[in-house]
Amino acid sequence: MTTNVSGEIDKSFNNSLLIGVILIVLGIAAIAAPAVSTIFAETWIAAILASAGVSKLIYAFQTRDRGGFIWKLLLSGLYIGTGVMLFVYPLTGVLTLTLLLGSFLLTEGIFELILAFRLRPQQNWTWVLGDGIITLLLGAMIWFQWPFNARWLIGTLVGASVLFTGISRVMLSLNGRSSLSQPNQPTEA
């Protein structure tokens, strides 16, 4: 029985290429309409939190005889409550998420700087230092422009991430296709 392996490989490359193109289009759309994509991202986070809370609630009842039942209930209530609040008050959620993102980046930048100076005797430690400085600056930019940047910031960042994911997917698909079409080169000893 003979199978057509190259046809299956071409199909998977075409699917990967198509997904990459779709991601590029979605990324550009998210960057072009950052207010819409910010609300979309905020709503997505609300859905994730609420569904995680429901999962935690189910787990709490399934494991109620193992201890910590009240804490599991409280934690699931926190998740569900936060998700519902983000659904009900999306603009407040956007403000809060933007401020949390700025705080996260500031904290990460400080930790990266500390790590860089601890790695200082090693070669290439300056890359960690540069990462820490850039992360710290991004966090400070978010903080000092808040709340004015909240309407567009998260949507723009999500759009940029989706765009670059799509570009990398397309490039990997094209690279994989070109490597299959080229015959193997003999290796020299």
Any domain includes 87: yes
The total domain count for the chain is: 1
Any domain includes 116: yes
- Residue 46: the pLDDT is 94
Q: What's the gap between Cα 146 and its chain centre?
A: 21
Any domain includes 105: yes
Any domain includes 77: yes
Any domain includes 8: no
C-alpha distance from residue 2 to each of 5, 6 (Å): 9, 12
C-alpha distance from residue 30 to each of 40, 141, 163 (Å): 9, 21, 9
Q: How far is the C-alpha of 89 from the C-alpha of 85, rounded, in Å? A: 6
Any domain includes 5: no
pTM given for the model: 0.68
Any domain includes 181: no
Any domain includes 9: no
Contact (CB, 8 A) for 21 and 171 = no
Q: How far is the C-alpha of 123 from the C-alpha of 5, rounded, in Å? A: 46
From first to last of its 189 residues, the chain has per-residue pLDDT tens of 555 544 555 566 678 889 999 999 999 999 999 999 999 999 999 999 999 999 999 999 999 898 889 999 999 999 999 999 999 999 999 999 999 988 988 998 899 899 989 888 888 888 889 988 998 998 898 899 988 888 898 888 888 888 988 888 888 888 766 665 565 555 555
Domain that holds residue 81: 20-175
